[in-house]
């Protein structure tokens, strides 16, 4: 892909970010009595949680806002009561659980019928069972020890079910599961085997700056997590692999494969990940800083500070020296990269360049090293996002005041012909004229963008 640039630019400005002529600064005066102490956690404060949590409870549990808050209060009350009863009942305690839409009913099981009045006096419902929680926990521990010697692939999950007063084993082969329990020394009466097709697997994070391996050999670094049509993945350097190249993660777990790659000319690529891996909006700080969050991709201007994360040399910082640079490697010339004085070494390729919380690009190449210093070039991240129709991953959901999803960023200078994404739609910068009246309200004030149907790079004229 060429890097032709138009002569006119479109400046997108969402609003003033500072005030001119202000001579003083506001300084908070210390409280003579010292910092305020947070209120103790109690039933009165149990519902004081972030709105995002309440909204998630409403969405996933089908609750109203009031019900979500009441469920949190009930959760606190039942936890306190269950804890008290567990101490009082001692060896006769057989577990507890809640029921009801807002977890309003607490149930407590006991092996001693004489203790039921004690339970109901605390506002809970009493259930008399044959095995104590200690008995069931001991039975599960025997399964744990047997699995430590040889884990049963047919029975991947087991747990203490206090409502059933059994240890439950989930298995695709019930007969083998019962044999496993018997060999572990568990009384068959203590075990309930339930047929299940569950196949648990671990999940790993796609984090900027982390290592990955190509075809099980060479190593590069993740740039930034992205998504495309619901598929997670990451953007990285084009010289790290070709379409079809398989990848494994920092832990050598199978990860995915290259879907697109451009090098030389450009130096970007994207890898689609399999179900073992999840995108995260973070960059590895390698212990130098807390892993920075990624919230957008506003371009840092010449002279701006910028930092890099890579799997060989970790975290290093410097400044942006030049935008829109062309550099010739032994394999050919790459145009449109950004020059920096941040050091890098082999294996850092593809890793994250970030300024604050704004993704800048992926490490391409350079000269020098991190002992003597050097010059490093990065491929701007927005070009790769546009080329492959990717969305920079900035989290599973955004609070109302956060920026919308996509590669568009307020305050960014776009050149004529540039394409950006905004909440699932694509827009092309056309200069001073607006050809279609279709852009969303957020763009009408800019009068610079035109909504276009761009399902992928092949659809661009």
Residue 54 C-beta-side C-alpha neighbours within 13 Å:
15
Residue 227 scores a pLDDT above 80: yes
Is 2 noted as a catalytic residue in this protein?
no
Active site residue 267: yes
Q: For residue 309, what are the β-bridge partners?
A: 315, 352
Q: Which of 349, 352, 364, 425 is catalytic?
A: 349
User: Do strands 352-355 and 358-369 pair parallel, antiparallel, or not at all (unpaired)?
Assistant: antiparallel
Q: Identify the CA nearest to 164 among candidates 210, 127, 195, 139.
A: 127
pLDDT in tens, 333-384: 999 999 999 999 999 999 999 999 999 999 999 999 999 999 999 999 999 9
Q: Are 299 and 413 in contact (CB under 8 A)?
A: yes
What average pLDDT does the segment 313-318 reach? 95
In the set 107, 239, 316, 446, the catalytic residue is: 239
Q: Which domains does the chain have, with CATH numbers?
A: 65-128 (3.30.300), 133-195 (3.30.300.50), 203-398 (2.40.10.10), 414-459 (no CATH)
Question: Which candidate in 77, 267, 291, 348 is catalytic?
Answer: 267
Q: Render pLDDT for 413-451 as a digit per residue (tens, 0 to 9).
A: 556 666 776 655 667 676 533 333 333 333 332 333 443
**Is 107 an annotated catalytic residue?**
no
Query: pLDDT (tens digit, 9 = 90+) per residue, 64-85?
Result: 999 988 988 888 888 889 999 9
* Beta bridge pairs of residue 205: 278
The answer on pLDDT for 452 being more than 60 is no
Q: Which positions ≥6 away from 229 have C-beta within 8 Å?
A: none
Q: Please state, in angstroms and rounded to a whole number, the distance separating the CA atoms of residues 136 and 167.
A: 6
pLDDT of 55 > 90? The answer is no
Name all contacts of 287-294 with Cβ < 8 Å and 24+ positions apart: 287/314, 287/315, 288/314, 288/315, 289/315, 291/207, 292/354, 292/356, 292/357, 293/357, 294/208, 294/224, 294/225, 294/354, 294/357, 294/358, 294/359, 294/392, 294/393, 294/394
- For the segment 318-347, what is each residue's pLDDT rounded down to a tens digit? 999 999 999 999 999 999 999 999 999 999
Instruction: Report CA torsion sign: 424, 429, 433, 435.
Output: negative
Please tell me the predicted confidence (pLDDT) of residue 412: 53
């Amino acid at each position: 892909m060429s890097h032709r640039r138009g002569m006119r630019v479109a400046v997108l400005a969402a609003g003033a970010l500072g005030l001119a002529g202000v001579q003083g600064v506001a300084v908070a005066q210390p409280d003579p009595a010292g910092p305020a102490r947070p209120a103790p956690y109690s039933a009165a404060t149990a519902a004081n949680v972030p709105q995002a949590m309440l909204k998630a409870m409403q969405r996933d549990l089908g609750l109203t806002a009031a019900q979500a808050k009441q469920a949190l209060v009930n959760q606190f009350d039942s936890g306190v009561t269950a804890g008290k009863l567990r101490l009082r009942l001692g060896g006769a305690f057989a577990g507890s659980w809640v029921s009801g839409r807002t977890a309003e009913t607490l149930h407590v099981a006991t092996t001693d019928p004489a203790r039921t009045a004690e339970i109901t006096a605390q506002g809970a419902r009493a259930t008399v069972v044959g095995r104590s929680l200690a008995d069931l926990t001991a039975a599960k521990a025997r399964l744990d020890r047997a699995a430590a010697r040889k884990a049963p692939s047919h029975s991947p999950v087991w747990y203490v079910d206090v409502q059933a007063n059994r240890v439950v084993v989930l298995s695709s082969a019930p007969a083998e599961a019962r044999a496993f329990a018997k060999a572990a020394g568990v009384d068959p009466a203590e075990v309930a085997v339930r047929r299940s097709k569950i196949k648990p697997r671990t999940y790993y994070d796609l984090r900027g700056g982390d290592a990955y391996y190509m075809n099980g050999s060479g190593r590069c670094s993740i740039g930034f997590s992205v998504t495309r049509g619901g598929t997670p993945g990451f953007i990285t350097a084009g010289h790290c692999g070709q379409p079809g190249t398989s990848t494994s993660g920092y832990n050598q777990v199978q990860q995915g494969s290259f879907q697109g790659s451009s090098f030389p000319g450009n130096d970007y690529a994207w890898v689609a990940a399999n179900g073992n891996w999840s995108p995260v909006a973070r960059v590895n700080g390698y212990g130098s800083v807390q892993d920075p969050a990624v919230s957008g991709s506003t371009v840092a201007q010449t002279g701006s500070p910028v930092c890099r994360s890579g799997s060989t040399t970790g975290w290093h910082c410097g400044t942006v020296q030049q935008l829109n640079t062309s550099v010739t490697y032994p394999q050919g010339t790459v145009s449109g990269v950004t020059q920096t004085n941040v050091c890098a070494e082999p294996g850092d390729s593809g890793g994250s360049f970030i300024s604050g919380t704004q993704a800048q690009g992926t490490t391409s190449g350079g000269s020098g090293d991190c002992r003597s210093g050097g010059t490093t070039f990065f491929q701007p991240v927005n070009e790769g996002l546009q080329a492959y129709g990717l969305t920079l991953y900035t989290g599973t959901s955004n609070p109302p005041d956060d920026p919308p999803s996509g590669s568009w960023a307020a305050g960014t200078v776009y050149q004529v012909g540039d394409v950006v994404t905004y909440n699932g739609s694509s827009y092309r910068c056309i200069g001073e004229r607006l050809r279609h009246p279709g852009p969303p309200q957020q763009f009408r004030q800019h009068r610079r963008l035109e909504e276009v149907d761009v399902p992928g790079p092949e659809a661009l004229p």
